[in-house]
Amino acid sequence: MAVGVTFQFFGDGWMKRDAFDFQAFVNGFKPSWALDIGDKLIVDLFAGGGGMSTAIEWALGRPPHIAINHSDDALSLHAVNHPQTQHYIADVFEVCPIQATQGRPVGLLHLSPDCRHFSQAGAGQPRSTKIRGLSWVGYRWAAQVKPDIITLENVKWVRTWGPLIAKRDKATGRVIKVDGSVASPGERVPVHDQFLVPDPKRAGETWRTFIRKLEALGYVVETREDCAADFGAPTTRSRLFMIARRDGQPIVWPEATHFRDPRPGQRRWRAAAEALDFSIPCYSIFDRESRGKKPLALNTMRRLARGTKQFVIDSDKPFIVPTQAATVPRSGGLDVPRMVYRQVCAHSEACIKAMLGLRKPAGAGETYSSAGMLVKFRFDSAGLPLDKPFPVITAGGNGKGRPAGAAHALGLSTAYLAQMNGGFADETGSPGRDVRHPMSTITQSGSQQQMVQHTLVPAASRSRTRSAGHLIQMRNNCDAQPLNEPIRTISAQGLHHGLVESCLQEFDHASTGLSPEDEAKALGVARFMIEHGDLGISAEAAATMSKAELLAIVTVMVEGVPYVIVDICLRMLEPPELYAGQGFPRNYKIDHGHDGRVFTKEKQVRMCGNSVSPHHGAAIIAANCQHLRVFSEDDLQRLVALEAA
């Protein structure tokens, strides 16, 4: 039992059912209504922003009865989206399972313990025995209230959970302290001052003990690692799930519904482009000083150049972004990303984007296009195409090393494309279309790889606007990825991903047909690519190249028509984009809590990065907990009618 602990609750006991409308919670999701008539409880530990609770609602038609988390903000976000749940703001070990459940049986207990001290994202940091031991709370609940089913979600490295030892200086063999200093000869360093690291000789020892203790309580335990993109989320976030059950029923692992390389009749991974809002302005990377911005870091420019080469210049099919006046086929073909009409935002993933709209009227027959990619501002990422899933969205970080100190590492980069078959635009030409206005939003999550391909969208008049994009990841040694793949894992650490788009103008090799301004920009992009794109062209050789040779470097073939890149732009992704990439429903509230408190972007991103992808969680719960599903309203009406008859 907890002693001397005060719990804070949101609301007075169970919140009223009519305070929340499930309708339109998710496209195709039929709402169900929980009947509190002695049915078994559902408990969500480490509830956070509500990813697993959303999964439970999708799978069972009911919210969890109890949610526990130490973060006031996280549970406030949880409460505004799951008002029927009873919330405990407390350390999970401070809540007595028997008191919290009031003696009622528990059908499902889920826990998503802090993964930071197991994850690769925490590499190089001292580890905490307390944080690594949070999973033990699951054993406590198992011993005291004996849930029928226990699910645990974490990074795959949780299986290496074992004792910690002090890190030692390689030269002297002495203990390294938390502050990085080396202990003096003969100094005894207290454990709390030691830089603790996992003992490689005992890796996995504690995890195996944890499993054995659950089995001793009568549970059958299985684990499996799966990718969220396999279950319909636009992110390649990969997590380990543990399922333990003691009700005599078999453990069921869900079959994948989406595939990286689908066979006929199978669905392809969802694209990162589905989560991006191309109406959000991106700004040229070449005029940052005029806007009072610091120059981009060298590594960032290298990523942009490498991603632009890989996913725009060398790509057979650059991701083409629909324009505002475009008529987009809605057939569901692989070359047509689905639009969801939702505003998007930024954090641990940065967003780079090339200018998509015309700055002046275009001449007759001119076509402007934009090619996009995602940029990730961490490690050594070149980027990602927009037709792939999002990468991992991290939940932490302080913005160091990221553009403008952004809160996450995911950005959108775009290169502005202007078709040159009709000469450069003059004041009498017909106006072009701005690709940023048409794309409301396409729901997608993070930067990772898979293909949904690009979309070509004709605009009104004699001009048309296109945008081809890819993702770039600004961390680790990550490479770029196409937008037709899911986004990689979104972590809680900050902005790491960007979206890149390229603006091209048709090139006939005989006469550029470019305005002096566009020609100068194209030559500037070519020099940028030579300097940062690993093209194998020395500065001396570049100085002797002709104008035609320089323009050839930034020439892009789109449907057999040559275009030249005239600009590259960059912006960070917004929180709504990240939540969409994680797989949250479009109407999920992320900017305020249950009491009206406003969340900063940093807080929004942190809670997103800490969340479970709802698609992955729902697949696990639906496969194992259908006996906990409640009646829908239609079912209840039919039962009432039968009773009356």
Domain ranges of the chain: 35-163+203-265+613-645, 164-198, 283-580
List the one residue out of 12, 156, 167 whose CA is nearest residue 83: 12
Average pLDDT over residues 569-578: 85
- Predicted local distance difference test score (pLDDT) of residue 427: 36
Contact criterion met (CB below 8 Å) for 362 and 463: yes
Res. 18: pLDDT tops 70: no
Distance separating alpha carbons of residues 237 and 220, to the nearest angstrom? 26
Q: What is the pLDDT of residues 543-552, one digit of tens each?
A: 999 998 998 8
Burial string for 60-80 (b: 16+ CB within 10 Å, else e) reads bbbbbbbbbbebebbbbbbbb
What are 508's two structure tokens?
A: 């006939």
Residue length of the chain: 645
DSSP state of 390: B
**Kind and range of the H or E run holding 617:** helix 614-624
Distance separating alpha carbons of residues 291 and 21, to the nearest angstrom? 44
Res. 336: pLDDT tops 80: no
What residue ranges in 179-318 does DSSP mark as E strands? 196-198, 220-227, 238-245, 258-259, 267-268, 283-284
Contact criterion met (CB below 8 Å) for 457 and 549: no
pTM of the model: 0.75
Q: Going by DSSP bridges, is the β-strand pair 283-284/561-572 parallel, antiparallel, or unpaired? A: antiparallel
Handedness of CA 315, 316, 319, 323 (dihedral sign): positive
- Predicted local distance difference test score (pLDDT) of residue 370: 63
Distance from the first to the final alpha carbon of the chain: 50
Distance separating alpha carbons of residues 354 and 60, to the nearest angstrom? 43
Query: Alpha carbon of 376 to those of 395, 456, 476: distances in Å?
Result: 14, 25, 9
Select the CATH number that applies to the domain covering 35-163+203-265+613-645 from these four: 3.40.30.160, 1.10.3720.10, 3.40.50.150, 3.40.50.1980.
Answer: 3.40.50.150
- Predicted local distance difference test score (pLDDT) of residue 558: 73
Kindly give, in sequence order, each residue whose CB lies less than 8 Å from that of residue 582, ignoring residues fewer than 6 positions away.
Answer: 51, 233, 235, 237, 390, 393, 445, 446, 490, 608, 611, 613, 614
Average pLDDT over residues 293-299: 89
Distance separating alpha carbons of residues 233 and 485, to the nearest angstrom? 11
What are 254's two structure tokens?
A: 């869900």
Residue 197: pLDDT band with limits 50, 70, 90: confident
Q: What is the pLDDT of residues 580-611, one digit of tens each?
A: 989 999 899 999 999 999 999 989 988 998 89
Distance separating alpha carbons of residues 64 and 41, to the nearest angstrom? 7
